[in-house]
Structure 1
Amino acid sequence: MTTNPTRVARWERRAEVPLLLLAVAFLVAYAWPVLDPRLDPDLRSFLDLVSWTVWAAFVVDFVARITLAEERGPYVLRHWYDVALIALPMLRPLRLLRLLAFARILHRAAVSSLVGRVGVYVGGTAVVAIALGAIAVLDAERADPGANITTFGDALWWATTTVTTVGYGDFFPVTFSGRVVGVTLMLVGISVVGTVTASVATWLISSVETKNRAEAEARAVEEGERAGTPGG
């Protein structure tokens, strides 16, 4: 017995856009207090309520997907990252990565060519990872006395150099949470580079094979025509 993809896929299609909108709401609720430390306490409390409401919605979504899966144990194991992002408070800032679900919607609008899909995924992933990483590391670092990432501009520069695997070293996280964010951005950057390399290699191999196949077919037709031509 295997997981029924139809039921789970149907739920994911229906929940995709609402979850995306909730993720955007979570981004606003999370980022606003980080970018404006002098925020009114009442507004901060409201944004905190929005954040936890969105978290609860993601819990409901994951429980629903588990319920729709016939083999629930294997499904949970395959989606261990959802369990971690929901259950571990230490990883709470990484819930921002839920916005990467936006890539699934971009895929439907992307052009059909491999180059187009790679451009959409790589560009979208890099931009989202940089923005979210900058906000998360600023939230983790700013209150530490030894921090050197204390403004959003510093955080944005650090996130950009980390994702692109440049790593100048002029800014770096000193807290445990900040380093968790840093490791995550490193893995995203490596994955993006690996995806581009693999996609380009696959495209080149496919192009060469298509060209060779077309040339072989053309030679076969030409040889067949020669064989069918009467001798002089």
Structure 2
Amino acid sequence: MSFYQNSKFNYFLSILIIIDLILITLTLISDVGENLYFSIIVFDTALCIILFIDFFTRLSDSDDKKHFLIKNWTELIAAIPFDLIMLPFVLNGSLLRVFKVLKFIKVIALFSQFFETIDFFLKKTHLDEIFGITLLVVLASTLGLYLFDPSINSLFDSLWFVLSTITTVGYGDILPQSGAGKIIGLITLIVGVLIFSTVTGAIASYFARRILMNEDFNITENDDNIEHLKDTLKSNKKNLYEVHSKVYKIDHDVESLKKEIRELKELNKELKEEIEILNENLKN
């Protein structure tokens, strides 16, 4: 597996993208100090370098490079350091509007890159479906309160109440007064509790599955080691059997040699006796 396909790298990259999104959005909606702005440029440029390396590494590994470019062209936009490139024009005050448009485009591209990076995690945990349901509930509740509760003066007040309710924070600064508004608020509160418990359960289930997968992998690896050890023992047993057979054969050969030596000794003894008899006869 390539380093850039590693899940830990993807999680790390997601964190960097979130930080960069917050920093770039901050420069869009408010005036930041010069020192902070240059720090943001350094951070954004470093992230762009990582994104460029990641993009072209995956491009070189891709079998269909044309399809890869069509599918992931937004990643290339996200990897362009617009702040660094446009810095001279921003300092001179020219092309400021163009610069802000480019930064807004980069924010969108970074959002796309972020969701592509965590796409596998979202699908495995079904958080994409949960976020979709949450967005639908927020929109429906916001419009319902605004339309049916006269005490809600604006869409922003309605959205503020829905968000504070669905997150179970409940500041209490804005409250529905009509019966329909209270019912919508109650439904929103119940949905919020269900959503957060579902999110918690989905994330816990995902990591539990990851742990079980790692344990299964370790068990499989241990089983493979045990099988290898069994094969080694069988091979050693076979070798020991062959050595034992050879030793047995050598013992048998030694016994045969001992027997032959005894026979030769007996024969030698008999020859000596015959020689002595012959010598006696010759003397006589």
- TM-score interval (norm. to shorter): 0.3 to 0.5
Tell me the TM-score normalized by structure 2.
0.38
Tell me the TM-score normalized by structure 1.
0.46
Structure with the largest fraction of helix:
2
Structure exhibiting the larger radius of gyration computed from Cα positions:
2
